[in-house]
């Protein structure tokens, strides 16, 4: 309850600047034209060989699901993106993570793709990389008006089908060649979109992103619904939408959905009726979606395969929609997967949806930021890991911001979202694109961690992604305290008042006769053989995982939760550990050896960030180790 209150307080404080930032989008996506207009040519035909091949691929997708990677005692080596790309592109020149190699044309399923040509759009359809800058005040007013009502009279909810209520990977993961390698550009269109919720429906504005071939035609593999987050609008995800369209050959629709129930009780981002209604839009003839796409300048039927995605609360929205869709017995099985961009939701929404997404199994992936206010301190990420503990469900970007996926949508948006959340480290946005597009390309083919070409890994595996790095999502470590005993050297820590100036810091853990753990911390002040500091205490675990303990240096040990010594990351061979507490304001990098290499120290720092350590960690000198070892 306290965390939820803190979230709403922060959201209220941030609302004004978020709304003002929303007016600066990418290309025509920032303009809220009511309709696209103009004529379009007839859909282009595919060759017969390609059609047959695409039909086979569609049949395979219906039955082929990714299997869980085998467990392994030993931690796999780090995955380096430059090595991955070099291995993958033996037949061509090496390129960067964002410059993808051409893909096999078999990725384009004739059964899923519908060819079409773009019509001219009323709001001057443009390349998705050319910015336009409507005024921020006008954009904010437009957003409020959009939340309050729409101009078109929607269809009644009764006209839509009813929904049933929800009830060994290799260490050298490869980067996916993009399905959009034949895509030469992305054009945007704008139209109203009617969501069948409430007595009169909910009519809103939507931006459409169409991947175009050199001929100007559109031959998309699938459709991506991309939902913005709380207090955001569609222009906030414009750069992400254009990238997904380009690199996955997908038609992307990004609608505005109100952050508050202004038009009807369920007509908002966190409203179950709206989430359920969006699921109905992917049933049957998909009239509402096809009508909106046509109005935005596209002729031809939309592809059947689709992926649901969203950032922040939009990620929880997308997962909920997927759950409702999967629970409906009339669905066609066209949902390929869900991809969240630091997504979250309240009230167990994601766990409930996952129950429906388990049979048949639909992959749900998360590109997460470390625990912070804006993702409810990683609550939904933890729910996802707990629900699917033995399979790949995504990765957390080291030092990441809740806004990692949003950058590039315009200078004002970039500035405001980072001021409100946290500044995104260099390379993190590119890493988001690399991970998400690789997964989506695999999802269209029914591939996953064991047979796909996207970047995956074992739980808790460290991955290098150019300038960024990530750790594969996994459950907290289960600790064998008998293996954890003995000597640990501190190679880095968040310095406390009593530890300033300490060197040669180490901790020795042994068993006491009463079953508690004896803790002896020691070190020298300022230099080797300097004044010695030693303190002795005791510790007891507070739960069955033994990864949380209470350490006390005054009085008897206590097993009362939540504990003040949390082992948040641990080497399977017990050669290193990262320790913090429930606040993340303390942090200790521990090693069985007095010193570690510079590269491994940097990895430990990144791991500490991913595991929620917020305090500034600095190296702890170990001069007693001698000059021959590699120091931090």
Residue 464 has pLDDT above 70, yes or no: yes
For residue 489, report the phi and psi dihedrals to the nearest 5 degrees: -100, 135
Q: How far apart are CA 352 and CA 354, in angstroms?
A: 5
Is 364 domain-assigned?
Answer: yes
- 298 and 416 in a single domain? The answer is yes
Range of the domain at 111: 2-38+75-157+173-472
The helix (H) or strand (E) run that includes residue 394 is: strand 394-397
For residue 331, report the phi and psi dihedrals to the nearest 5 degrees: -65, 155
Confidence category of residue 198, pLDDT binned at 50, 70, 90? confident
Residue 632 has pLDDT above 80, yes or no: no
Q: Which residue has the higher pLDDT, 299 or 50?
A: 299
* Residues 6 or more apart whose Cβ sits within 8 Å of residue 365: 337, 338, 339, 340, 392, 393, 394, 436, 439
In the listed set 451, 472, 493, which residue is the last one of a domain according to the structure? 472
Structure-token pair, residue 304: 């059947």
Relative to beta strand 565-570, strand 548-552 is: antiparallel
Q: How far apart are CA 112 and CA 221, in angstroms?
A: 6
**CA-based radius of gyration for the chain:** 26
According to DSSP, the residues that pair with 368 across neighbouring strands are 396
| pLDDT the model gives residue 8 | 52
Helix, strand, or coil here: 250?
A: strand
- 392 and 495 in a single domain? The answer is no
- 502 and 417 in a single domain? The answer is no
The 3-state secondary structure of 174-210 reads: CCCCCCCCCCCEEEEEEEEEEECCCCCCEEEEEEEEE
In the listed set 446, 472, 498, which residue is the last one of a domain according to the structure? 472
In the listed set 441, 472, 503, which residue is the last one of a domain according to the structure? 472
Total domains present in the chain: 2
- 370 and 453 in a single domain? The answer is yes
Is 378 domain-assigned?
Answer: yes
The helix (H) or strand (E) run that includes residue 51 is: helix 48-63
pLDDT tens-place string over residues 530-559: 999 999 999 999 999 999 999 999 988 899
Give the global pTM. 0.76
| pLDDT the model gives residue 626 | 79
Residue 609 has pLDDT above 90, yes or no: yes
Is 44 domain-assigned?
Answer: no
Q: Which residue has the higher pLDDT, 89 or 416?
A: 416
Whether the CA torsion 440, 443, 449, 450 is positive or negative: it is negative
Residue 218 has pLDDT above 50, yes or no: yes
- Most confident region among 89-98, 250-259, 261-270, 619-628 by mean pLDDT: 250-259
Is 224 domain-assigned?
Answer: yes
Structure-token pair, residue 422: 């946290």
- 440 and 557 in a single domain? The answer is no
- 376 and 516 in a single domain? The answer is no
Q: How far apart are CA 454 and CA 602, in angstroms?
A: 25
Domain CATH code at residue 232: 3.40.50.1820
| pLDDT the model gives residue 146 | 41
Q: How far apart are CA 451 and CA 554, in angstroms?
A: 54
Buried-exposed string 84-117: b where 16+ CB fall within 10 A, e elsewhere: bbeebbeeeeeeebeebbebeeebbbbbbbbbbb
- Most confident region among 75-89, 150-164, 388-402 by mean pLDDT: 388-402
pLDDT tens-place string over residues 318-361: 999 999 999 999 999 999 999 999 999 998 999 999 999 999 99
Residue in 225, 21, 239, 249 with CA at minimum distance from that of residue 113 = 249
Is 226 domain-assigned?
Answer: yes
Count the residues in the chain: 632
pLDDT tens-place string over residues 269-322: 999 999 999 999 999 999 999 999 999 999 999 999 999 999 999 999 999 999
- 525 and 465 in a single domain? The answer is no
- 264 and 288 in a single domain? The answer is yes
277 and 197 in contact (C-beta within 8 Å)? yes
- 325 and 363 in a single domain? The answer is yes
Q: Note if the bond before 562 is cis, omega within 30 degrees.
A: yes
Q: Which residue has the higher pLDDT, 89 or 589?
A: 589
The structure tokens 């150019």 sit at: 466
Domain CATH code at residue 560: 2.40.128.20
Task: Kindly state the average pLDDT of the residues 462-490.
Answer: 97
- 609 and 545 in a single domain? The answer is yes
- 120 and 185 in a single domain? The answer is yes
Whether the CA torsion 279, 283, 289, 291 is positive or negative: it is negative
Relative to beta strand 364-368, strand 335-341 is: parallel
Is 9 domain-assigned?
Answer: yes
pLDDT tens-place string over residues 168-188: 332 333 344 456 568 999 999
- 91 and 227 in a single domain? The answer is yes
Is 51 domain-assigned?
Answer: no
In angstroms, how far is the first alpha carbon of the chain from the final one?
Answer: 41
Is 165 domain-assigned?
Answer: no
Relative to beta strand 217-219, strand 115-117 is: antiparallel
């Amino acid at each position: 309850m306290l965390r939820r209150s803190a979230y709403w307080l922060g959201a209220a404080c941030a609302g004004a600047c978020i709304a003002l930032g929303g007016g600066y989008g990418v290309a025509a996506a920032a303009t809220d034209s009511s309709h696209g207009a103009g004529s379009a040519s007839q859909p282009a035909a595919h060759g017969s060989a390609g059609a047959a091949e695409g039909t086979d691929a569609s049949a395979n997708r219906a039955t082929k699901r990714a299997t869980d990677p085998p467990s392994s005692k030993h931690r796999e080596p780090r995955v380096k993106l430059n090595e991955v790309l070099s291995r993958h592109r033996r037949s061509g020149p090496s390129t960067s993570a964002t410059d993808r190699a051409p893909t096999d044309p078999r990725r384009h399923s004739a059964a899923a793709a519908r060819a079409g040509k773009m019509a001219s759009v009323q709001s001057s359809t443009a390349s998705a990389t050319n910015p336009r800058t409507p005024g921020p005040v006008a954009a904010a007013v437009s957003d409020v008006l959009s939340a309050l009502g729409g101009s078109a009279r929607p269809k009644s909810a009764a006209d839509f089908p009813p929904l049933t209520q929800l009830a060994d990977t290799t260490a050298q993961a490869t980067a996916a060649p993009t399905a959009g390698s034949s895509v030469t550009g992305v054009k945007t269109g704008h139209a109203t979109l009617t969501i069948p919720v409430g007595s009169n429906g909910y009519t809103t504005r939507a931006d459409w992103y169409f991947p175009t071939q050199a001929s100007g035609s559109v031959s998309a593999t699938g459709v991506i619904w991309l939902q913005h987050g709380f207090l955001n609008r569609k222009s906030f995800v414009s750069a992400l939408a254009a990238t997904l369209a380009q690199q996955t050959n997908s038609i992307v629709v990004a609608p505005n959905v109100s952050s508050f129930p202004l038009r009807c009780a369920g007509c908002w981002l966190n409203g179950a009726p709206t989430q359920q209604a969006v699921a109905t839009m992917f049933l049957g003839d998909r009239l509402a979606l096809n009508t909106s796409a046509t109005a935005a300048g596209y002729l031809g039927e939309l592809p059947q395969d689709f992926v649901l995605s969203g950032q922040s609360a939009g990620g929880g929205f997308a997962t909920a929609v997927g759950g409702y869709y999967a629970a409906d017995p009339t669905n066609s099985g066209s949902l390929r997967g869900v991809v969240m961009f630091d997504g979250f939701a309240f009230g167990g929404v994601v766990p409930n949806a996952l129950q429906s997404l388990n049979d048949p199994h639909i992959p749900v992936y998360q590109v997460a930021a470390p625990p912070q206010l804006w993702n409810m301190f990683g609550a939904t990420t933890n729910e996802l890991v707990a629900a699917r503990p033995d399979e790949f469900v995504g990765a957390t970007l080291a030092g990441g911001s809740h806004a990692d996926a949003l950058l590039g949508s315009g200078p004002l948006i970039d500035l405001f979202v980072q001021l409100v959340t946290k500044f995104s480290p260099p390379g993190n946005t590119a890493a988001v694109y690399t991970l998400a597009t690789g997964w989506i390309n695999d999802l269209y083919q029914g591939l996953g961690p064991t047979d796909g070409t996207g970047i995956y890994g074992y739980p808790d595996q460290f991955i290098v992604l150019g300038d960024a790095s990530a750790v594969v999502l996994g459950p907290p470590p289960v600790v064998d305290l008998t293996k954890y005993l003995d000597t640990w050297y501190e190679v880095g820590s968040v310095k406390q008042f009593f530890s300033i100036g300490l060197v040669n810091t180490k901790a020795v853990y042994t068993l006491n006769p009463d079953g508690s753990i004896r803790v002896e911390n020691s070190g020298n002040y300022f230099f080797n053989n300097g004044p010695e500091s030693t303190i002795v205490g005791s510790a007891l675990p507070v739960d069955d995982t033994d990864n949380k303990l209470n350490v006390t240096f005054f009085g008897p040990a206590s097993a009362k939760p939540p504990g003040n010594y949390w082992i948040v990351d641990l080497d399977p061979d017990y050669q290193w550990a990262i320790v913090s507490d429930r606040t993340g304001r303390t942090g200790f990098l521990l090693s069985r050896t007095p010193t570690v290499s510079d590269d491994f120290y940097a990895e430990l720092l990144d791991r500490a960030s991913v595991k929620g350590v917020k305090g500034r960690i600095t190296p702890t000198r170990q001069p007693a180790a001698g000059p021959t070892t590699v120091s931090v």
